[in-house]
Amino acid sequence: MSAAYKIRSLPRILLMTLGALLIGGAAYVDHATGRNLSFLCFYLIPVSFFIWFTTRRIGALSSVLCATVWFVENVSDKAYLFNSEISYLNMSIELVFFFLATLLLSSLKEALGINEELSRMDALTGAVNRRAFYDLAGREIARLERYKHPFTVAYMDIDNFKIVNYRFGHKAGDQLLRSVADTVRKNLRKLDIISRFGGDEFTMLLPETGAEAAQAVLSRMRNVLLNIMETNKWPVTFTFGTVTFLKPPSSVEEMVKKVGSLMYAGKDSGMNTIEQEIFDA
């Protein structure tokens, strides 16, 4: 779990308090240095904090607040009385650069966010990739440790997928994978996660979901998938390994190994089934 994520996870009131302290610190140093130094650029420190760790709107408001504090501080300086027009012109130019820098920071955060999101997605299906799944699963394990709320993980394999590639071509295989990912996504809640683990294997992370609810969701999903496969004349079925965790596993690796082993046991016993266990060690 990254340091940035930990900071963003702090209560909003605490983040706002820290940001306010940064603004106050910048204002104090600005006042202490007087007019010999232009301190506007240092107000970018609290603005950057707000932009990076809160919302874009709060970041914009903090930028306006910092600019106002700096403006009031400098207008109150008697030095401006000697040449007010030039002084106000200089202040205006500095404010323009300040707001441009704020806009660039906000745009940079947005671009980095888009790039990070793309790096966590499977390009073909739009599902999250293995790395992102491990990160999200780790957070869910930590949540279980803290709040004792169960979650369920499902590992799904497409039975006989190679036949589709062989008989209909790889383009049809790609279409099948996209169709599966879209169908699974439509049959899950917004907080649930679907991940493509590679090839024709997918995993699903279902927070706040017990064994009975998971069985109902996955059974319905498998029926929908089978109907779509039959409509498209794709000769495949689906095998699931499903584990509901009432107590946290020691690691994400242990969790994946457990559901994966259950899925492969289902394939060995005839495929097109949902194998389910409850982990309460």
pLDDT tens column, 189-205: 999 999 999 899 999 99
What is the rounded average pLDDT of the residues 22-33?
Answer: 83
Domain locations in the chain?
3-119, 130-279
The whole-number average pLDDT for the span 110-126 is 78
Mean pLDDT of all residues in 202-221: 96
Q: What pLDDT is stored for residue 52 in this prediction?
A: 84
How confident is the model at residue 103, as a pLDDT?
Answer: 86
* Mean pLDDT for the stretch of residues 40-66: 85
Higher local confidence (pLDDT), 117 or 97: 97
Answer yes or no: is pLDDT of 83 > 70.
Answer: no
- Report the pLDDT value the prediction gives residue 2, as an integer from 0 to 100: 59
Strand partners, 153: 205, 243
Over residues 86-95, the mean pLDDT reads 73
Residue with the bigger pLDDT between 33 and 197: it is 197
Confidence band, pLDDT 50/70/90 cuts, at residue 34: low
Is the pLDDT score of 44 beyond 90?
no
- Is the model more confident about 93 or about 135? 135
Q: What is the mean pLDDT of the chain?
A: 88
Q: Indicate if the pLDDT at residue 265 is higher than 90.
A: yes
Of 1-10, 233-242, 256-265, which gets the smallest average pLDDT? Answer: 1-10
Q: Mean pLDDT across the stretch 116-129?
A: 84
**What is the spatial distance between Cα 273 and Cα 156, in angstroms, rounded to a whole number?**
10
Q: What is the pLDDT of residue 173?
A: 96
- Reference 243, options 122, 140, 130, 125; nearest CA is 140
Which pLDDT does position 77 carry in this prediction? 61
The DSSP annotation for the chain comes to: --HHHHHHTS-HHHHHHHHHHHHHHHHHHHHHHGGGS--GGGGHHHHHHHHHHS-HHHHHHHHHHHHHHHHHHHHTSGGGGGSHHHHHHHHHHHHHHHHHHHHHHHHHHHHHHHHHHHHTB-TTT--B-HHHHHHHHHHHHHHHHHH---EEEEEEEEETHHHHHHHH-HHHHHHHHHHHHHHHHHTS-TT-EEEEEETTEEEEEEET--HHHHHHHHHHHHHHHHHHHHHTT---EEEEEEEEESS--S-HHHHHHHHHHHHHHHHHTTSS-EEEEEE--
As a whole number of angstroms, the distance between CA 170 and CA 158 comes to 15
Tokens 């089978």 locate to 226
The answer to whether the beta carbons of residues 262 and 277 sit under 8 Å apart is yes
- What does CATH list as the number for 130-279? 3.30.70.270
